[in-house]
Amino acid sequence: MTGQLGKSTGKPILRKEDPALLSGRGRYADDLPIPTGTLHAHVIRSPHAFAEIVRINAGKARAQDGVWAVITGEDVRKLSDPFMAAVKTLVQQWTLAVERVRYVGEPVALVVAESRYLAEDAAELVTVDYKPLDPVIDPLEACKSSAPLLHPQTRTNEISVREFRYGDPAGAFARADRRIAMTVPFPRLSFTPIECYVVVAQHNPAENSYDVLANFQGPFSMHPVMARALRVAGPKLRLRIPPDSGGSFGIKLSVFPYIVLIALAARITGRPVKWTEDRIEHLVAASSGPNRVTQIEAAVNKDGRILGLRLDQLEDYGAFLRAPMPGPLYRMHGAVTGAYDIENVEVKNRVVLTNKMPASLIRGFGGPQLYLALERLMHRIAVELKLDPLDVIRRNLIPAQKFPYRTAAGALYDSGDYARALDIALGDGRLADLKRRREQARAHGRIYGIGFAAVVEPAMSNMGYLSTLMTAQAREKAGPKNGAVSMARVTIDPLGAITVTADVTVQGQSHETVLAQIVAAELGLSPEEIEVVLELDTAKDQWSIAAGTYSSRFASGTAVAAHMAAVQMRDKLKAVGAKQLNILPDDVELAGGKIRSRSNPDNALPFGRVAGTSHWSPVMLPESMAPALSETAVWTPPELEPPASDDRINTSLTYGFIFDMCGIEIDPVTYQVRVDRYVSMHDAGRIMNPMIAEGQIRGAFVQGIAAALYEEFTYNEEGAFLSGTFADYLVPTVAEVPEVEILHYASPSPFTPLGAKGLAEGNCMSTPAAIANAIADALGAKEIILPATPRRIHALMQKASA
């Protein structure tokens, strides 16, 4: 099966997407034609972190020429229901603030006018009377009983606490030689795609239905959330995704509240309404990864072997817990022990709310937070036990013979040889070179450090992972949630041309090219001949709640479904071809654009002719065979079971492995961190397209560097947002990106027919940890706060010399 695939996958072919994108012919949401009479919206946002809304004075604005409406929370409350959330609480959230504002930037009102320029002018005429309240910004402060309550209906801001125990952690901690503990915070940041949110909505009053175009990227489990909010059945909310989008990195999940808002605006005004988010809005209020404070402790023996692990993960979701949060806290749950063979684990997961923008999915999705804590602890164990950090890592790595490996918390790691991958990365003189650089630097009085990180990268989420949030009894009542569905369809047109549609949306990961490669390989065609259409339309395409592009689900999910559909089509065409060539189906092969006899290749027909048979002469089809016009495949991997009654959960389908090592130098004159050498070893199973894989890894690497050194959403104590423009929020340019040497090792996944594992989030998880460890090594420091800005390095060095 994979042999066929090798024909055109595994090779770096050029992308199908490029000619259009390079010529300015991309079709992003803001480029698409809109109906005549479309109005334009602008959001008025809260300047306060926490306040009561006393009054919204919109009379003057409404009276302006060209202004059609000013919509407020009260309007929204009348016409829509609060959003469903994953955690059952009394917290209610609508698409505009109702009664109170809870974060700077929260949408308070919507101006709808004939142009965006006019709408912004009118917005300046709207005055809102607020009664400011004391906000709470720090997550630890927010847990205290004295903290201001974000939502009066709850008794605490700490709205979810769940404890898990696997194995015998108490015993492990009792018998271990040492206990080593740390508190590791992870910052709040995002990956700000260059294209912001866009929504165009229309309402059909006759049917009370909505038609929305938006660059939403899934998961489509949010579709029922939006439909419910709009008080319509699913089919009455038609959601169409444009052919191209300018990046997502998980962030274009959070366009969903705006879809509801603009849909309501269309209903209220009776006109189509368009909203294009601008960068200022995006930075203050679009989405953010959650910040987390982890208390992590290991029970270790003198030789560095970890007997037990305890984690208390306090994650800050900002002002509201929107669906599908607290995803990042649970998505990694099965893999909470990372790359290490640890049987005894205690986990406490706490969700707290604060007066900051609501957090959600960003690339890495819980991995960066977990691995910063876990890998800093590994380094710390080495420091305190006076061992080599690599020895500590090695001593605890899951041995190759244990795969498929069931972790303490229930993840089923499909494949891997971590020790071997490590050896390859360290080999060829690489580790020796790093050590030599450190030695020489230190001999000259320079500040140099080496850091490592070993990370297991999950991909393709088990949709049931979030239900681990509930207790086993509660899950029992609610019914099992599990699995992940991926769908793809291969269709033949009258002339035998092939079209592929699938349940992914386009963000730049070259889905079109890879799907074409996969299908072409099975059908004996070239990828150029395969048409791939990925403009998902909920009214006409097949989709499930898992649809979309997120959580690296493409390689282990949709690509597999496409492969299955192509195989189904291939087998049908073999049967059709066999009849026409007068041979047995076993003897048929599809190759070089022909359908022919393997034993007698001259006995051949053009692919298009055979493939078109179902259209033109279905009578020529083999008996009892339905016309092969369209083959749909649905891939539901069996490994993604619901959480067990003991709270074990296989949170993802595939698990890749990454090992990073780096050397950094700190400039004592400018306090800047320079990455001197960086090596990143990736085991992502079978690589479908090496060029695309490398592009994904490099993109994730820069985002990891960004989290380590540059990007952070900063708030002051009053909750004012300080990272409001691209001059304040520092996205790395090419000048800030160090060179990275990428190495590969492949242990194919036995759980996906293609053997591929999702890759693409890995360095978001590993790089911040590796850099933090290198800085710890350089400065001999314990508490490394990321991003390690010059300001923080300066403070660390001052503290050290004091």
Partner 1 sequence: MKPRPFDYLRPDTVEEALAALAEYGDDARILAGGQSLVPMLNLRLVEAAALIDISQIAALDVIRDFGEAIEIGAAVTQNKLLVWPQLAQKLPFLAAALPYVGHFQTRNKGTVCGSIAHADPSSELPLALALLGGEVVLKSQRGERVLAAQDFHKDMLTTTRVADEMITAVRFPAANSAANGEGRGIAFREVARRHGDFAIIAVAALVEDKNTVRLGVGGMSGRPMVRRIASGKTADAIGEVIADWADELEGYEDLHASAAMRRDLFRNLGPRVIEEAMR
Partner 2 sequence: MRRHKRSERVRVSLNLNGRKLAAAAEPRTLLCDFLRYALGATGTHVGCEHGVCGACTVLIDGVATRSCLTLAVQAEGREVKTVESLAGADGALNPLQQAFRDNHALQCGFCTPGILMSFTDYLARNPHASEAEIRDVLSGHLCRCTGYAGIVAAIKQAARK
Residues that bind partner 1 (CB under 8 A): 116-117, 120-121, 124, 278, 280, 668-672, 710, 714, 722-723, 725, 727-728, 730, 732-733, 735-736, 789-791, 794-795, 798
Q: Which of 22, 181, 620, 800 binds partner 2 (CB under 8 A)?
A: 22
> Do residues 505 and 548 make contact, with C-beta atoms less than 8 angstroms apart?
yes
Which of partner 2, partner 1, none lies near 235, with the C-beta cut-off 5 to 8 A by kind? none
Could you give the C-alpha distances from 257 to 71, 223, 286, 681, 690, in angstroms and in order? 15, 11, 10, 39, 37
Q: Does 507 bind partner 2 (CB under 8 A)?
A: yes
**Tokens describing residue 172:** 């492990």
Q: Locate tokens 């269709």: which residue? A: 491
Residues whose CB is less than 8 angstroms from the CB of residue 396 and which lie 6 or more positions away in sequence, other chains included: 304, 305, 306, 339, 340, 341, 342, 378
DSSP β-bridge partners for residue 630: 491
- Pick the stretch among 276-284, 293-301, 520-528, 563-571 that binds partner 2 (CB under 8 A): 276-284
Shortest Cβ 16–partner 2 spacing (Å): 10
Which of partner 2, partner 1, none lies near 302, with the C-beta cut-off 5 to 8 A by kind? none
CA–CA gap between residue 472 and residue 55 (Å, rounded): 45
**Which C-beta is closer to partner 1: that of 622 or that of 738?**
738
Q: Which candidate, 469, 478, 267, 258, places its Cα nearest to that of 351?
A: 469
Shortest Cβ 382–partner 1 spacing (Å): 31
Q: Does 18 bind partner 2 (CB under 8 A)?
A: yes
Give, for 107, the enclosing helix (H) or strand (E).
Answer: strand 107-113
**Tokens describing residue 227:** 């439909």
DSSP per residue over 165-200, as a string? Answer: EES-HHHHHHH-SEEEEEEEEE-------SS--EEE
Compute the radius of gyration of the chain from its Cα atoms: 27
DSSP state for residue 340 in the 8-state scheme: B
Q: Does 727 bind partner 2 (CB under 8 A)?
A: yes
**Which C-beta is closer to partner 2: that of 31 or that of 129?**
31
CA–CA gap between residue 116 and residue 111 (Å, rounded): 9
**Tokens describing residue 652:** 């993802």
Phi, psi of 509 (to 5 degrees): -85, 15
DSSP β-bridge partners for residue 93: none
Q: Which candidate, 361, 327, 333, places its Cα nearest to that of 348?
A: 333
- Pick the stretch among 375-383, 506-514, 646-654, 709-717 that binds partner 2 (CB under 8 A): 506-514
Shortest Cβ 735–partner 1 spacing (Å): 4
* Sheet of 604-606, strand order: 588-591, 594-597, 604-606
Give, for 601, the enclosing helix (H) or strand (E).
Answer: none
Q: Which candidate, 533, 551, 552, places its Cα nearest to that of 541?
A: 533
Shortest Cβ 401–partner 1 spacing (Å): 47
> Do residues 218 and 511 make contact, with C-beta atoms less than 8 angstroms apart?
no
CA–CA gap between residue 627 and residue 615 (Å, rounded): 8
Q: Rounded to a whole number, what is the distance in angstroms from the first to the last CA of the chain?
A: 65
CA–CA gap between residue 679 and residue 700 (Å, rounded): 14
Q: Which of 508, 637, 643, 748 binds partner 2 (CB under 8 A)?
A: 508
Shortest Cβ 794–partner 1 spacing (Å): 5
**Which C-beta is closer to partner 1: that of 123 or that of 559?**
123
Q: Does 701 bind partner 2 (CB under 8 A)?
A: yes
Q: Does 733 bind partner 2 (CB under 8 A)?
A: yes
**Which C-beta is closer to partner 1: that of 78 or that of 444?**
444
Crossing angle, helix 559-581 and helix 607-616, to 10 degrees?
90
Give, for 706, the enclosing helix (H) or strand (E).
Answer: helix 690-709
**Tokens describing residue 610:** 């055979």
Q: Which of 510, 544, 651, 766 binds partner 2 (CB under 8 A)?
A: 510
CA–CA gap between residue 304 and residue 180 (Å, rounded): 11
Q: Which of 14, 174, 233, 800 binds partner 2 (CB under 8 A)?
A: 14
Q: Beta strand pairing status for 237-240 and 588-591?
A: unpaired
Q: Which of 10, 28, 64, 533 binds partner 2 (CB under 8 A)?
A: 28
**Which C-beta is closer to partner 1: that of 478 or that of 722?**
722
777: left (phi over 0), alpha (psi -120 to 50) or beta: alpha
Q: Does 692 bind partner 2 (CB under 8 A)?
A: yes
SS3 state at 529: helix
> Do residues 651 and 465 make contact, with C-beta atoms less than 8 angstroms apart?
yes
DSSP per residue over 658-673, as a string? Answer: EEEEEEEEE-TTT--E
Q: Could you give the angle at the alpha carbon of 572 between the alpha carbons of 502 and 488, nearest 5°?
A: 5
**Which C-beta is closer to partner 1: that of 116 or that of 446?**
116
Shortest Cβ 693–partner 2 spacing (Å): 10
> Do residues 184 and 372 make contact, with C-beta atoms less than 8 angstroms apart?
yes
Phi, psi of 367 (to 5 degrees): -65, -45
Shortest Cβ 403–partner 2 spacing (Å): 30
Q: Which candidate, 237, 205, 264, 206, places its Cα nearest to that of 69?
A: 264
Q: Which amino acid is at 658?
A: I
Q: Which of 206, 443, 669, 735 binds partner 2 (CB under 8 A)?
A: 735
Q: Which of 98, 383, 387, 691 binds partner 2 (CB under 8 A)?
A: 691
Which of partner 1, partner 2, none lies near 789, with the C-beta cut-off 5 to 8 A by kind? partner 1
Which of partner 2, partner 1, none lies near 701, with the C-beta cut-off 5 to 8 A by kind? partner 2
Which of partner 1, partner 2, none lies near 670, with the C-beta cut-off 5 to 8 A by kind? partner 1
Which of partner 2, partner 1, none lies near 501, with the C-beta cut-off 5 to 8 A by kind? none
Which of partner 2, partner 1, none lies near 17, with the C-beta cut-off 5 to 8 A by kind? partner 2
**Which C-beta is closer to partner 1: that of 419 or that of 737?**
737
**Which C-beta is closer to partner 1: that of 600 or that of 798?**
798
Torsion angle, alpha carbons of 354, 355, 356, 361, to 10: 40
CA–CA gap between residue 343 and residue 160 (Å, rounded): 25
Crossing angle, helix 389-396 and helix 418-426, to 10 degrees?
160
Q: Does 25 bind partner 2 (CB under 8 A)?
A: yes
**Which C-beta is closer to partner 1: that of 655 or that of 715?**
715
Shortest Cβ 669–partner 1 spacing (Å): 4
Which of partner 2, partner 1, none lies near 529, with the C-beta cut-off 5 to 8 A by kind? none
**Which C-beta is closer to partner 1: that of 698 or that of 794?**
794
CA–CA gap between residue 67 and residue 38 (Å, rounded): 13
Q: Does 36 bind partner 2 (CB under 8 A)?
A: no
Shortest Cβ 449–partner 1 spacing (Å): 20
Which of partner 2, partner 1, none lies near 677, with the C-beta cut-off 5 to 8 A by kind? none
Which of partner 2, partner 1, none lies near 128, with the C-beta cut-off 5 to 8 A by kind? none
Q: Which of 3, 24, 479, 638 binds partner 2 (CB under 8 A)?
A: 24
Subset of residues 214 to 253 that bind partner 2, contact rule: CB under 8 A: 244-247, 249
Q: Which of 243, 250, 358, 699 binds partner 2 (CB under 8 A)?
A: 699
Which of partner 2, partner 1, none lies near 708, with the C-beta cut-off 5 to 8 A by kind? none
Q: Does 743 bind partner 2 (CB under 8 A)?
A: no
**Which C-beta is closer to partner 2: that of 117 or that of 616?**
117
Q: Which of 192, 360, 491, 558 binds partner 2 (CB under 8 A)?
A: 192
Shortest Cβ 12–partner 2 spacing (Å): 8
Q: Which of 75, 106, 158, 195 binds partner 2 (CB under 8 A)?
A: 195
Which of partner 2, partner 1, none lies near 153, with the C-beta cut-off 5 to 8 A by kind? none
Q: Does 391 bind partner 2 (CB under 8 A)?
A: no
Q: Give the residues lining the site for partner 2 (CB under 8 A).
A: 12, 14-15, 17-19, 21-26, 28, 30-31, 117, 191-196, 244-247, 249, 278-280, 506-510, 691-692, 694-703, 725-727, 731, 733-735, 737
